[in-house]
Amino acid sequence: MIGARTGFQPERVQHYAVAHFRAIREKFGIAPESFAAAFRCGTGSGAQPDELANRLRESVSEGASGSFFYWVKNADGTDTGYVVKQITKREKDTLMSILPAYKAHVAMRNGCSLYSTFHATQCGRGGNVPARCTSL
């Protein structure tokens, strides 16, 4: 996972079920520009490659999984409202298998749900090491 302490910088990122997650974010009232901006690094010649890593506040789950969670901060340190959770391949596969039903649920409830909100799922690769994550 990308993080100041881990030093993981993905060489490429695979985005899963882009259209499904876009529709889900729309039902939750999340504008595409707003979501993208929360994860975008600076632009121009002054952009730092590790800027996003510096905007992630890392935490380890106290639960059985021991997963890493990252609270995504704006450049000024304020909270974006997004959390990135490191997930296993099995968790990713499970999420992908229930995604159509989850999308239908969110659409039926018009974005009002007591379930956890899933906004995107990606897999970054640095060399041969995959790092899967989902945005909550």
Read off φ and ψ for residue 67, nearest 5 degrees: -65, 155
Tens of each residue's pLDDT in the chain, 136 residues: 444 445 555 567 889 999 999 999 999 999 999 998 887 765 544 445 566 667 778 777 666 767 788 888 887 888 888 988 888 899 999 999 999 999 999 999 999 888 888 999 988 876 666 778 888 7
pTM: 0.78
Distance, in Å, from the CA atom of 75 to the CA atom of 27, rounded to the nearest integer, reads 27
3-state secondary structure of 135: strand
> Domains along the chain?
16-135 (3.30.800.10)
